[in-house]
Amino acid sequence: MNRKIGFLVIALLCAVSFSATAQQAVKLGPLGFLFGNYNLRYEKALSEKGSWQVGANYYNYEIFDVTSTGFGLDAAYRNYFKEAMVGAYVSPALGFQTNTTSVSVFDDTSAGYSLLGLGVTLGYQWIGGGGFVTDLGLGYGYNVEVGKDDKLTGDFGGGGVRFTFAIGYAF
């Protein structure tokens, strides 16, 4: 747990060290902490209506005798309808994740796979007094399996709903 918190603190400090001459925001998904999913996002305005966002996430789930651990990176362009970083937006995104799954019932058998994902999100972002940011979004994403261990027989790609809820600080 301490390593996970350390990862988030280091990532936050790295994001804050970027140039503060443009609109920027650092956000995290607070609901993920309830489920063992930790994510951090950095967003920077590029133009009057556009911004880019990069993010990283780490997860570690244990359900019965199955443990699934993974790490992912993603990048997105956000096109805001009125003003960059504030209001309604549409955001295409590209991501990569790697996963290792262990099953303790079978002598701790472990195998991994990797996914490349593409998705789009429609959302709304508020920046309140003092720079407090709230980001809500809903979209669809599709993952393509790009590699897996020989021990795995199933397919791990496919599509699904994407939900965004993040809070943070804009500067």
Structure confidence at residue 70 (pLDDT): 96
With a cut of 50, say whether residue 17 has pLDDT above it. no
Q: How far apart are the first and last CA of the chain?
A: 29
Q: Which residues of 155-167 are buried (b: 16+ CB within 10 A; e: fewer)?
A: ebeeeeebebebe
Rounded to 5 degrees, φ, ψ at 60 are -150, 105
**DSSP 3-state helix, strand, coil percentages of the chain (rounded to 5)?**
15, 65, 20
Q: What is the pLDDT of residues 53-104, one digit of tens each?
A: 999 999 998 888 888 899 999 999 999 999 999 999 999 999 999 999 887 7
Model confidence over 116-143: pLDDT tens digits? Answer: 999 999 999 999 988 999 999 999 999 9
Domains identified in the chain and CATH numbers: 2-170 (2.40.160)
Question: Is the pLDDT reported for residue 168 higher than 70?
Answer: yes
Judge whether residue 15 has pLDDT over 50. no
More confident residue, 102 or 171: 171
More confident residue, 171 or 35: 171
Instruction: Report CA torsion sign: 13, 14, 15, 20.
Output: positive
List residues bridging with 147 in a β-sheet. Answer: 114
pLDDT level of residue 152 (50, 70, 90 thresholds)? confident
pLDDT beyond 70 at 18: no
Query: 24 with 17: CB under 8 angstroms?
Result: no
What is the residue whose two structure tokens read 């607070």? 30
pTM for this one? 0.81
If you average pLDDT over residues 1-25, what whole number do you get? 54
Which residues, at least 6 apart from 85, have a Cβ–Cβ distance to it below 8 Å? 23, 25, 43, 45, 51, 125, 127, 170
Percent of the chain exceeding pLDDT 70 equals 85
- Does the pLDDT of residue 155 top 70, yes or no? yes
Are 97 and 71 in contact, with CB atoms under 8 Å apart?
yes
